[in-house]
Structure 1
Amino acid sequence: MKNITLFILLFSICLIPKNLKAQDNGAAIAAGVGALVAIGVGVAAVEQMKERAELTATQWILSNNPELNSFSLKTMDFDGKKLKDISSASVITFKIQEFTPSDDIKLNGRKQVLLGFTSHGWINEYGIDFEKVKWFLIDSNKWMDMMTNYVQVASGNTKNDFIQEQLLNGKIVNKGVKVKSKTTIPFYKLSGDMYVVTDYSDDMKFIYNEKSLGIFLKETKNLIQINRGSIIEIHDFFFED
C-alpha cells in the first residue's frame, strides 16, 4: 500500500509543468500531498467504520438471535463509498446467510437482511454512535410483504398475488415494477412535495414520495429513505439464484 501511494505521489509530481515558478511547484506539490493524505484518511476511516459496523451487527445478532449458530454477515453499504456518502445514509444493511460447517463450506442456508435505521448524528467526530441505530432483522417472506405493501401505496394496485408475481420476476425501478423491459405496475407520478402513506405495522408507516421508499419509524419519529439502488440490491440478494 505504501509503494502504491509513493508511486501515485511521484506520478503526480511528474505531471506538474516544468515551466512553473519554484513557489508554484512547491504549492502544487503540497496540495498534491495533502490530497493524497486526505484520500488515505478517508479510505482508512471507511474501512474502520465498516469493520466496527459489522462487529456491532454481529453482536446484535448474537444477543437477539441465539438460534443462529453458523452464519456469514457482510455489509452491503461500505464498499466503494466515500465517507460523506456513508454519513448521510439513512439505513445500513447487512446480508446474513446461514451455512453448515464442513471442510468445504458453502453459503447455501437461509438468507436474512439486518436493517440498521440511522438517525441524525449517527456519525460524528468520534466515529459511529450505534445508540442512534435501530435494528430490524427480516427474511425473504418479510421483505416480500414489505415490498408488496410499498407497491400498493405507490401504485394503488391491491392485487397481492399479481404484485408478488411481478416482484419475483422483475425489479422495482423509479417509475414502477418492471419485468424485463416492460413496466407492469406503474407508480403514481408525484412531485417532490407529495406523499402517499400507508400504516404498515406497529413499528412503521410506508411513504411513497417520487423516487424513494420512505419508512416512518413510530417509536423514534424518524422518516428514513431507502434509495432505489438499495431496494434492488436487497431484492436481488433474496431472490436471485
Structure 2
Amino acid sequence: MKKITLVFLIVLSIIPKNMNSQNEGEAIAAIAGGLLAIGAGVAAVEQMKEQAELTATEWILSNQSDMESFSLKTLDFDGKKLKDISSASVMTFKIQEFEPSDKPKLTGKKQILFAFTSRGWISEYGIDFSKVQWHLIDSDEWMNMMIAYSKVASEKSNEDLIKETLKDGKIVNKGVKTKKGEDIPFYKLDGDMYLVSNYSPEMKIIYNEKSLGIFLKETRDLVQISRGSIIEIHDFFNGG
C-alpha cells in the first residue's frame, strides 16, 4: 500500500498543472506504468541479491565446515540494473571471519568467493545455480593471481618485485601505483586484444584493457572481472 501511495504522489508531482483532464489521465497512466516497471526491476534485483547471498552462504556451510562465524556480502547488485547483472559473468562475495561477541568487529581471516556463471544463468525464474561454478580464494591466492595478471599485463617479470609493489601499492585503472619503488604500468590494448597466462590446471588468466579475464578450462567459459571489482577486491585484502 505504501508503494502504491508513493507512486501516486510522484505522478502528481510530475503532471503539469495546466494539462486538460483527458491528457492528464493518459499522462498519469504512462508515468505510473513506467514507475511501477522501475519498481519491479528494483525489486527483482533485490530478490536476486538475497537469493545469491543465501546460496553463497549455503555453499560455505556445505564446503567450509571449520568456518563457524563469518560475514558474507556481495560486491555486486547494489545500484545495478537487471540487464547489467544478467550480462555479468561472475558474482563476487566478500567473506570475513570474526570472534563471536556483542556487536562483533570484522577482524578475522578474509576470503573472496567467486561464483563463475555460464550462459543462461539468469532466466525468468531467477538465478539457475546449476550454471554457477564456485571458487573460494584467500589473500595468498589473490596475490598469486595478481602477480600473474601484472606479469602478463606489463613489461615486469620479476615476481618478487611485483609482489612488493602489489603489497605496498594500489591497483588503479592504468596499472599498480605505489608510494615506494616503481609503479607497474599496464599495456594499453585495444578492446579486442588479449594477453594470456596459463595460471593453473583450472584456469588461464587473461588481460585486456578493461578487465581481468579468467578462462575456466573445465567449462570453457571466459568470465570477466571488471577493473573496478579488481580494485575493490585488492583493497579488501589489503585493509581497504
Amino acid at match of 1:42: G
What residue is the counterpart of 1:228 in the other structure? Answer: 227
The range that moved more, 138-147 or 85-94, is 85-94
Distance in 2, Cα, partners of 1:234 & 1:122: 23
Structure 1 partner of 2:188 = 189
Q: Is the Cα–Cα contact under 8 Å of residues 11 and 32 in structure 2 kept in the other structure?
A: no
TM-score of the superposed pair, with normalisation by structure 2 = 0.93
Counterpart secondary structure, 1:224: strand
CA distance in 2, matches of 1:36, 1:173: 37
Contact 1:90 1:117 (8 Å CA) reproduced: yes
Cα gap change, 1:152 to 1:101, in 2 (>3 Å): same
AA in 2 matched with 1:233: E
Q: Which string of whole-angstrom CA distances, capped at 9 and with x for unpartnered residues, describes residues 176-234 of structure 1?
A: 11236x98111122112221111000111011112211111000101111101100111
- Looking at structure 1, the residues matched to 135 and 6 of structure 2 have their Cα atoms a distance apart, in angstroms, of 45
User: What amino acid is aligned across from residue 58 of structure 2 in structure 1?
Assistant: Q
Q: Give distance in 1, aligned partners of 2:162 and 2:111.
A: 21
Q: Which runs of 5+ in 1 are unaligned?
A: none
Identity of aligned residues (%): 66
| Structure 2 SS opposite 1:113 | strand
Structure 2 unaligned blocks of 5 or more:
none
Residues 109-134 of structure 1, C-alpha deviation per residue, up to 9 Å, x if partnerless?
Answer: 10111000111111110100011111
Q: Deviations over 1:32-70 (max 9, x none)?
A: 111221122112111111111111111111111111111
Change (3 A) 1:183 1:14: farther
**TM-score when scaled to structure 1?**
0.92
The answer to whether the 8 Å contact 1:205/1:216 transfers is yes
Aligned ranges 1:18-167 → 2 under 5 Å:
18-167=17-166
Amino acid at match of 1:155: S
Cα contact 1:9–1:32 (8 A) shared by 2: no
Distance 1:161 1:6 in 2: 61
| C-alpha contact 1:196 1:209 (8 A) present in aligned 2 | yes
2:12 alignment partner in structure 1:
13
